[in-house]
A and B are shown apart, each in its own frame.
Chain A
Amino acid sequence: EAGVTQFPSHSVIEKGQTVTLRCDPISGHDNLYWYRRVMGKEIKFLLHFVKESKQDESGMPNNRFLAERTGGTYSTLKVQPAELEDSGVYFCASSQERPGGGNSPLHFGNGTRLTVT
């Protein structure tokens, strides 16, 4: 099966610009997650979709970040306007069921490296 794919793999933008990251989960996976790692820090949870609904967005840092998952398939994460501290690697993950037991691990993409200058 095709894995989780993320576009673009790298993005360099100037402060104040807008960037949109895209994630295509594994087909049939209702659960989609966004994580990020900023420089020198640990990987942090941003939000979780179940199909097209936001289940948990407690990790979103502020209202400059907007995530969508129209139709319950791919997801986008928009940063507008971007700030220097938004630089980091943004990971998307998907799973068939909620993880935490059973046999439904998270499948991660290789991430989008965002650099804000």
Chain B
Amino acid sequence: DAKTTQPNSMESNEEEPVHLPCNHSTISGTDYIHWYRQLPSQGPEYVIHGLTSNVNNRMASLAIAEDRKSSTLILHRATLRDAAVYYCILLYYGQNFVFGPGTRLSVLP
């Protein structure tokens, strides 16, 4: 059901940038790209979303390929608190979220 492909796991060192990739080769023109993350023992948390242009917010940046078939979530300086499972989800208006397995990010001190 999930229309995205993400690596199962990634590692990063603390205070270094992290680039989390997501492939979505079957994306349609009306699909928004959403990123959520789930910290241990918490519910999923909104990170960022975009349609065509790159997006920045206080948590992260989202870089979207020109053909929109892939995107990258960028955490500019990873902290230990960023260790979580990150989900890349395609969504058009009115659709319900479909979660895949996501990428488990480990941050090493």
Q: Which residues of A contact B (CB under 8 A)?
A: 4, 33, 35, 42-45, 48, 56, 59, 91, 93, 98-102, 105-111
Contacts and interface: CB of A to CB of B under 8 A. Distances in A.
A100 B32 contact: yes
A43 B89 CA distance: 12
B43 A101 contact: no
Nearest to A113: B41
Chain A binding surface, main DSSP class:
loop
B27 interface: no
Chain B binding surface, main DSSP class:
loop
Given A42-B101, A44-B99, A98 B94 contact: yes
B42 A98 contact: no
A48 B51 CA distance: 24
Interface string B27-66: 0000010101000011111100101000000000000000
Contacts of B101: 42
B91 A101 contact: yes
Nearest to A45: B96
A100 B94 contact: yes
Interface residues of B, number: 23
A100 B43 contact: no
Given A93-B43, A101-B32, A42 B100 contact: yes
A84 to B, nearest CB: 23
A102 B101 CA distance: 25
A107 B36 CA distance: 10
A72 B49 CA distance: 28
A101 B97 contact: no
Instruction: Pick from A42, A93, A111 the residue with the most CB of B within 10 Å.
Output: A42
Contact of B92 (A48, A93, A100): A100
Contact of A110 (B34, B36, B42, B93): B42
A110 B43 contact: yes
Contact of A111 (B34, B43, B95, B99): B43
B98 interface: yes
A56 B96 contact: yes
